[in-house]
C-alpha cells in the first residue's frame, strides 16, 4: 500500500538464561559477577548439587543426619568460594564440590570443622536447599520385596539392613562374594521393575 | 544435564554397598558429581536401600529370612515370638498383642545339603506353593521363617503345613514335615479355653 518511511529490523530479544539451563561454569560466572545477590543462581547450585552431596554423605558417613549436615557444610563452602570469585576453573565446579565433600568428610573424621565459622559469617542469609529425595511407595515396595525369590530378599536384607559386606554374606549363605553381588544386582533389578522404574540405557 | 556414557547399575550398586573402593570408587564419584542422570539413579538405589532397611527393621516381611537378620532384629529390640516346630508334629502358635514378629525356627539335618526348598501344603499334604532355594543355617541346623503380625492370616485360625526338601542333581529328598496351627486368640497358654 505504501512504503514504510523507515525500515524496521525486528530483533528478537535475547532470552535471559534461566539458571537451570546454565552450565556449571555459567552458574559460577553469574554468581561471582554479582556476589551474594543472584539468589536464583545460588539456588540452582543448591538444587543441582545438594542431592549429590547428600548421597556422598550417606555413602561415606552412613547416617541421615550427618549427610544432611554435610550438604549444608559443603554448600556453604562452595557458595563462599563462588561469591568470592576464587574458583580457578569454574567449568570444573562439580569437581570442586566433590573435593569439598572429601575434605569435609576427612575433617569430620579428624574432629575438626569449618562449618561454624562459615555459618557465623553467612548465617540465615544463606538459603541452603533441602536435598531432593526420590519418593517411594513403601507399601508397594513392601509387596515387591515379599515377591522376591528368597535368596535375593535375604541378600538385600543382609546388605541394607544388617550392613553385611559381600564377603560376610557369602560366608553366611555359603556362596561366593561374586555370587552375592550377582544375586544382589538381580534383586535390585527385580525391585526396580516391580516398582515401575525403567532402566536407563547406556 | 546427562552424560554420554552412563554408569551401569551394577557398578553404582557396588559403589553404594562398598564393594567398589579406591580409585574405581573415586572415578564413580567424579562421574556422579558431574552427571545428573547417574546421580538420580544412585539416588534411586539409596532410596530403595533405605526403604528395605526400614521395612526390615519394622518386621514387615514374611517367609524365609537369613538367621542373622532375625538375630539383629532381636538385638535391636524388635519384639519377636519364636516357635520351634518339631518334625512330624503340629504345634500351636499365635501372636500376643505386644509381638511385632513371629518366627519359626525349623530344625533339620542340613549336612551335605546344597539347596533347600520349602513346599507349602494343603491339609492332605499336597504341595500348593514352593519357595525355591531358601537361605538356611547349616551350623545351627535350621531354617528360619518369619510371619509378620499385621498379616491378616495371623488373626485367623489356620494351619501352616510345610515340607522341607533337599534338592540336588539327583532329585529331592524330604528333610521333614512340620505344621504350625495358628490360634488367633494368642500364644498357647495365654488365654482361657
Q: What number is the ipTM of this complex? A: 0.86
d(CA A97, nearest CA chain B) in Å: 8
Question: Cβ B134–A174 below 8 Å, yes or no?
Answer: no
Q: Report yes or no: B119 and B163 within 8 Å, Cβ to Cβ.
A: yes
Instruction: List chain A residues with CB under 8 Å of B146.
Output: none
Chain A residue closest in CA terms to B117:
A150
Averaged pLDDT, B35-59: 89
Q: What is the pLDDT of residue A139?
A: 84
Question: Cβ A188–B13 below 8 Å, yes or no?
Answer: yes
Question: In angstroms, rounded to a whole number, what is the distance separating the alpha carbons of residues A113 and A65?
Answer: 16
Cβ neighbours of residue A95 under 8 Å, at least 6 residues apart?
Answer: A89, B30, B33, B34
Nearest in space to B52 (alpha carbons), one of A187, A123, A145, A65: A145
Q: Report yes or no: B143 and B64 within 8 Å, Cβ to Cβ.
A: yes
Among A51, A156, A189, whose Cβ lies nearest the Cβ of B43?
A: A51
Q: What is the pLDDT of residue A202?
A: 34
Residue B9, pLDDT above cutoff 60: yes
Averaged pLDDT, A8-19: 57
Q: Which of A2-11, A160-169, B14-23 has the lowest mean pLDDT?
A: A2-11
Question: Cβ B132–A191 below 8 Å, yes or no?
Answer: no
Residue A13, pLDDT above cutoff 60: no
CB pairs under 8 A between A and B: 147
Among B54, B72, B133, whose Cβ lies nearest the Cβ of A150?
A: B133
Q: Report yes or no: A151 and B45 within 8 Å, Cβ to Cβ.
A: no
Q: Report yes or no: A105 and A57 within 8 Å, Cβ to Cβ.
A: yes
Return mean pLDDT, chain A.
Answer: 81
- DSSP output for A163-174: ---HHHHHHHHT
Residue B41, pLDDT above cutoff 50: yes
Averaged pLDDT, B184-193: 76
Q: What is the pLDDT of residue A200?
A: 41
| pLDDT per residue as tens digits for the range A74-122 | 999 999 999 988 888 888 999 999 999 999 998 887 765 566 666 565 5
Q: Which of A134-148, B66-80, B140-154 has the highest mean pLDDT?
A: B66-80
Averaged pLDDT, A17-41: 86
How many helices (H) does chain B have, and how many strands (E)? 4, 9
d(CA A27, nearest CA chain B) in Å: 13
Averaged pLDDT, A17-21: 82
3-state SS, residue B64: strand
Q: What is the pLDDT of residue B63?
A: 75
Q: Report yes or no: B59 and B147 within 8 Å, Cβ to Cβ.
A: no
pLDDT band (50, 70, 90) for residue A15? very low
Q: Which three three-digit cell numbers place residue A125?
A: 542469609
- Between A22 and B172, where is the model more confident? B172
Does this model's pTM top 0.90? My answer is no
d(CA B138, nearest CA chain A) in Å: 9
Residue A171, pLDDT above cutoff 60: yes
**What φ, ψ does residue A34 adopt, rounded to 5°?**
-140, 70
Chain A residue closest in CA terms to B61:
A146
Interface of B with A in 53-72 (CB under 8 A): 53-57, 60-69, 72
Instruction: List chain A residues with CB under 8 Å of B63.
Output: 146, 150, 153
d(CA A3, nearest CA chain B) in Å: 49
Question: In angstroms, rounded to a whole number, what is the distance separating the alpha carbons of residues B163 and B177?
Answer: 4
Q: Say how far residue B18 (Cα) sits from the centre of its chain.
A: 23
| pLDDT per residue as tens digits for the range B56-107 | 888 776 678 888 899 999 998 989 999 999 999 999 998 888 888 899 999 9
Handedness of CA A109, A110, A112, A115 (dihedral sign): negative
Amino acid at each position: 500500500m505504501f512504503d514504510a518511511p523507515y525500515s524496521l529490523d525486528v530483533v528478537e530479544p535475547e532470552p535471559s538464561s534461566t539458571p537451570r539451563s546454565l552450565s556449571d561454569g555459567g552458574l559460577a560466572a553469574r554468581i561471582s559477577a554479582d556476589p551474594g545477590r543472584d539468589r536464583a543462581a545460588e539456588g540452582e547450585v543448591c538444587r543441582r548439587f545438594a542431592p549429590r552431596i547428600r548421597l556422598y554423605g550417606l555413602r561415606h558417613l552412613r547416617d541421615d543426619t550427618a549427610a544432611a549436615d554435610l550438604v549444608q557444610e559443603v554448600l556453604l563452602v562452595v557458595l563462599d568460594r563462588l561469591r568470592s570469585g576464587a574458583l580457578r576453573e569454574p567449568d570444573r565446579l562439580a569437581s570442586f564440590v566433590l573435593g569439598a565433600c572429601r575434605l569435609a568428610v576427612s575433617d569430620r573424621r579428624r574432629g575438626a570443622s569449618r562449618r561454624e565459622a562459615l555459618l557465623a559469617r553467612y548465617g540465615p542469609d544463606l538459603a541452603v536447599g533441602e536435598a531432593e529425595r526420590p519418593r517411594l511407595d513403601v507399601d508397594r515396595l513392601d509387596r515387591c520385596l515379599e515377591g522376591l525369590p528368597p535368596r535375593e530378599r535375604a541378600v538385600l536384607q543382609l546388605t541394607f539392613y544388617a550392613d553385611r559386606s559381600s564377603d560376610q554374606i557369602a560366608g553366611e549363605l555359603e556362596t561366593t562374594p561374586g555370587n552375592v553381588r550377582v544375586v544382589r544386582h538381580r534383586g535390585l533389578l527385580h525391585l526396580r521393575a516391580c516398582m515401575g522404574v525403567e532402566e536407563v540405557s547406556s | 544435564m546427562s552424560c554420554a556414557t552412563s554408569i551401569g547399575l551394577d557398578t553404582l550398586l557396588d559403589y553404594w554397598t562398598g564393594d567398589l573402593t579406591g580409585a574405581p570408587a573415586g572415578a564413580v564419584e567424579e562421574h556422579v558429581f558431574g552427571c545428573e542422570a547417574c546421580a538420580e539413579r544412585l539416588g534411586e538405589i539409596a532410596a530403595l536401600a533405605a526403604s528395605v532397611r526400614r521395612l526390615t527393621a519394622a518386621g514387615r516381611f514374611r517367609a524365609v529370612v537369613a538367621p542373622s537378620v532375625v538375630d539383629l532384629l532381636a538385638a535391636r529390640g524388635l519384639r519377636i515370638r519364636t516357635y520351634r516346630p518339631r518334625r512330624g508334629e503340629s504345634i500351636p502358635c499365635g501372636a500376643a498383642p505386644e509381638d511385632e514378629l513371629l518366627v519359626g525356627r525349623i530344625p533339620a539335618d542340613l549336612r551335605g545339603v546344597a539347596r533347600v526348598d520349602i513346599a507349602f501344603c494343603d491339609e492332605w499334604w499336597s504341595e500348593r506353593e514352593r519357595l525355591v532355594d531358601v537361605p538356611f543355617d547349616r551350623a545351627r541346623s535350621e531354617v528360619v521363617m518369619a510371619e509378620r503380625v499385621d498379616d491378616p492370616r495371623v488373626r485367623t485360625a489356620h494351619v501352616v503345613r510345610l515340607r522341607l526338601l533337599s534338592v540336588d542333581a539327583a532329585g529331592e529328598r524330604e528333610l521333614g514335615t512340620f505344621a504350625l496351627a495358628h490360634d488367633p486368640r494368642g500364644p498357647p497358654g495365654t488365654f482361657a479355653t
